[in-house]
Amino acid sequence: ELKGENPFKIRAYTNAARTIETFGGNVPNLQDEEAVAKIPGIGKSIALKIKELAATGSLKYLEELSAEFPSGIMELFSLSGLGAKKIRALYDRLGISSIEQLQKACEEGRVAELPGFGLTTQQKLCDGIAKRAAHAGAFQFGQVAAEAETLRADLAAHPDALQVDIAGSYRRRKEIVHDLDLLVATKKPGAVTKSFVSQPLVESIIAQGPTKSSVRLRSGVQCDLRVVSTAEYPFALAYFTGNKEHNIELRSRALERGWTLNEYRLAPLAPDPKAKKKIRPKKIPKVRDEAELYRAVDLDFIPPELRENWGEFEAAETHSLPKLVEKENLRGTFHCHTTASDGHNSLEEMAEAAQALGLEYLGIADHSRSQIQAHGLDEKKLLAQVAAIRKLNKKFDGFHLFAGVECDILRDGTLDFPDEVLSQLDFVVASVHSALGLSEADMTRRMIRAMENPFVTMLAHPTGRLLLKREPCKIDVPKILDAAARIGIWIELWWPMAKQKGVKCVINPDAHRAERLQDLWFGIGIARKGWLTKDDVMNCLPLGKMESALAAKRLV
C-alpha cells in the first residue's frame, strides 16, 4: 500500500492477513501450499508466501519491500489519521520517515503547508505524537494476546516443559499491559530457555540467563520468561500473577501462621528473639497448586482476575466469592455491523461466523442515518434489512438473527429514528458518536433522555473511550447507572458498580468484521474482572429466554 501498488493486490493481501490472523489450525498446516490455497480469499501466489513464512519464519518478498523504505517509516502508521497515502506524501515531499522527523516538521509548520494536510491535521499529528509518548510501553490486551497465546502454546509443546502459564497483568486480564510474564516448570531450564529466545516472534534478546530471560517481541512488548521447578511452580505462579497489593496481603496471612512466603516456597518463619509475642508456626501443608496455597492460609481459591486487593480476601475468607462468568456461558451477542453500513461482511457471513463460534443468536445493529461517514442506514434501508433478516431466519435451525440498529443519540438526547421505526425492531442499541465534548451535566442528561425512550434496549460504549487513543467523555457514571437500573436498560460492560445497582450487562464486540466476533472472549475477561456471574450478563441467556427478555422489554 505504501508503495502505491494495484488496489486489488493490496486488498488481496489485507484479506489474506485477516484470514490467517484468525486461522484455527496448526502452523505446520500452513506449509501445505495446496491446502492453504483452498482457504477462502487466498490465491496461489499468496499461498506460496504463507508456505515460506510458516516454514522459515521469514519472507523474502517482505524483506525486499521493507528494503525500499527507511526502517522507521512503518511507525508512522501508529498515528491516528495517517494512512499510506499521507505517509507516502510526507516521505516524498519532506523526506519524513520517522516519528521524530514528523514531530520536528510539525513544530516548524512544514506539514501544514502540504496539500491535503493543513493546520488542523498538523495539530492533530502533534497531539497524537504527544499521546504516543505518554503511552510508550503500554499495550492493549488485544494487541498482545495473539503473541502471548502463541508463545504459551509453543512452549507448552516443548518436551521439557511440564507446566506453562502466562502470569502478570495479562493473567489478571488488565485492559492495558506493559509486559508479558511467562512461567515454565521444567527439569531442563537450559533447553526451555533456548527454545524461548529462538521463537519466530522474538525481535531481539534483552537478556538470557539460567532462570530468567527477557526478549522484545515483534509487537514491541517485552516478554520475560522464568523457569522453576515443579515444586516451586504454584508459589511462582501466584507471586508473578500479582498484583503487588494482593501479594502483600497473602504474605501477611502467611506470617500470621508463622510462615514466610515468597516466589519459591512456604517455609517456617525464623524465630525473632526480640519479639514480645512468640508465634508458634503451624504445620505447613503440602502445596501442589495455587488452590492449595490459598487453602493453606484459610482462603477459597481466588481467580486471577480478582487479585487486585479490592475485597477478594474478605470474600474468599467467608466463602462468598462469586462463580464468575465463563466463555462457555455465552449464548449469543448483539451490536454487530454488516456491509449495509461500515461492516465488511454480509448478514449471511456474520451469521455463519457466529454459528462457527457455537453461538445461538446474533444481533445485527448497523449504524443509523446520522452516521454518514459510516454509511448509516436511512429508514427505507433499515426496514429492508429487517425484512432480509426475517427471511434469512427461516433457513436457520437452532440459530436466530435479531434485527436491531445502533441508533445515534442526538445532541439533545432524542434518537436518530422515530418510535414508529424503532418499534419494528427486535432491539435498539443507543450510542453517542458526536458532540463528545459536552459538559458532564449535559452529556449525562443527553444519555438519560435517550435511555428513557421505551424502545431502547441497551446503551453502548457510554464513555466513548478508546484505550490509549481517546480519553472518555465526561459523564456522571452513578447517575447513568441509577437511570439504567430504574428503566431496565442493559449496559455494555461495566465494573462492579453496575452489579451493585442491579444493572444487567451485555457483552458485545461491536464487530465490523466476522473475525472480530472472537473479541467476545476479551469481554469475558473484563466481565470476570468486574466480579460478574452468568446471571449478571444478559447474553448468557439461551435463545428462547432471550426472545422472551426482548419481548418483555418492548411491553414495558
List the single range of 134-138, 256-260, 383-387 with lowest mean pLDDT: 134-138
Grid-cell match 462463580, residue found: 323
The pLDDT assigned to 538 comes to 97
Reported confidence tier of residue 271, pLDDT bands at 50, 70, 90: confident
The pLDDT assigned to 24 comes to 56
Q: Where are the beta strands (DSSP E) in 443-488?
A: 458-459
CB 432 within 8 A of CB 393: no
Q: Is 397 left (phi over 0), alpha (psi -120 to 50) or beta?
A: beta
Give kind and range of the element (H or E) at residue 336: strand 332-336
Cα separation, 480 vs 487, in Å, equals 11
Architecture of domain 234-317: 2-Layer Sandwich (3.30)
Q: Which amino acid is at 403?
A: A
Cα separation, 499 vs 481, in Å, equals 10
Summarize pLDDT for 418-433 with one digit per residue, the tens. Answer: 999 999 999 999 999 9
Class of domain 327-555 as given by CATH: alpha beta
Cα separation, 187 vs 189, in Å, equals 6
Question: How large a percentage of the chain has pLDDT more than 90?
Answer: 74
Reported confidence tier of residue 255, pLDDT bands at 50, 70, 90: very high
Cα separation, 488 vs 453, in Å, equals 11
Average per-residue pLDDT for the chain: 92
51-62 core/surface letters (b: 16 or more CB in 10 A; e: else): bbbbeeeeeeee
The pLDDT assigned to 35 comes to 76
In three-state secondary structure terms, 366 is strand
Cα separation, 355 vs 342, in Å, equals 22
Cα separation, 46 vs 49, in Å, equals 5
Residues of the chain with CATH 3.30.460.10: 139-230
Bridge-partner residues for 402, per DSSP? 363
Residue 258 grid cell:
508463622
Residue 506 grid cell:
451485555
In three-state secondary structure terms, 267 is strand
Grid-cell match 512452549, residue found: 155
Q: What does the DSSP 8-state code read for residue 373?
A: G
The pLDDT assigned to 133 comes to 87
The pLDDT assigned to 264 comes to 96
How far CA 491 is from CA of 203, 428, 455, 498, in Å, comes to 40, 12, 15, 8
CB 230 within 8 A of CB 185: yes
Averaged over 116-142, what is the pLDDT?
Answer: 91
Grid-cell match 462457555, residue found: 328
**61 has a pLDDT exceeding 60:** yes
Cα separation, 406 vs 368, in Å, equals 6
How far CA 442 is from CA of 107, 395, 409, 481, in Å, comes to 35, 46, 13, 16
Q: What does the DSSP 8-state code read for residue 2?
A: T
Grid-cell match 520517522, residue found: 98
Residue 434 grid cell:
458526536
Architecture of domain 139-230: 2-Layer Sandwich (3.30)
How far CA 181 is from CA of 137, 192, 395, in Å, comes to 15, 15, 47
Summarize pLDDT for 315-352 with one digit per residue, the tens. Answer: 999 999 999 999 999 999 999 999 999 998 999 999 99
Cα separation, 201 vs 215, in Å, equals 10
Reported confidence tier of residue 28, pLDDT bands at 50, 70, 90: low
More confident residue, 204 or 437: 204
Q: What does the DSSP 8-state code read for residue 537?
A: B
DSSP secondary structure, 219-253, as one string: TS-EEEEEEE-TTTHHHHHHHHH--HHHHHHHHHH
How far CA 139 is from CA of 155, 216, 222, 508, in Å, comes to 22, 13, 10, 21
- Which of 102, 104, 99 is closest to 71 using CA atoms? 99
- Which of 169, 103, 97, 99 is closest to 139 using CA atoms? 169
The pLDDT assigned to 424 comes to 96
Residues of the chain with CATH 3.30.210.10: 234-317
Residues of the chain with CATH 3.20.20.140: 327-555
Please give the model's pTM, rounded to 2 decimal places.
Answer: 0.84
> 183 Cβ partners below 8 Å, 6+ apart?
163, 164, 165, 166, 167, 225, 226, 227, 228, 233, 236, 237, 240
CB 157 within 8 A of CB 165: no
Bridge-partner residues for 363, per DSSP? 402
Summarize pLDDT for 534-543 with one digit per residue, the tens. Answer: 999 999 999 9
**79 has a pLDDT exceeding 60:** yes
Grid-cell match 524461548, residue found: 196
Bridge-partner residues for 268, per DSSP? 259
**214 has a pLDDT exceeding 80:** yes
The pLDDT assigned to 467 comes to 82
Q: Is 258 left (phi over 0), alpha (psi -120 to 50) or beta?
A: left
Question: Within 10 Å of residue 334's Cβ, how many Cβ atoms?
Answer: 29
Summarize pLDDT for 480-534 with one digit per residue, the tens. Answer: 999 999 999 999 876 788 989 999 999 999 999 998 999 999 999 999 999 999 9
**34 has a pLDDT exceeding 80:** no
In three-state secondary structure terms, 203 is strand
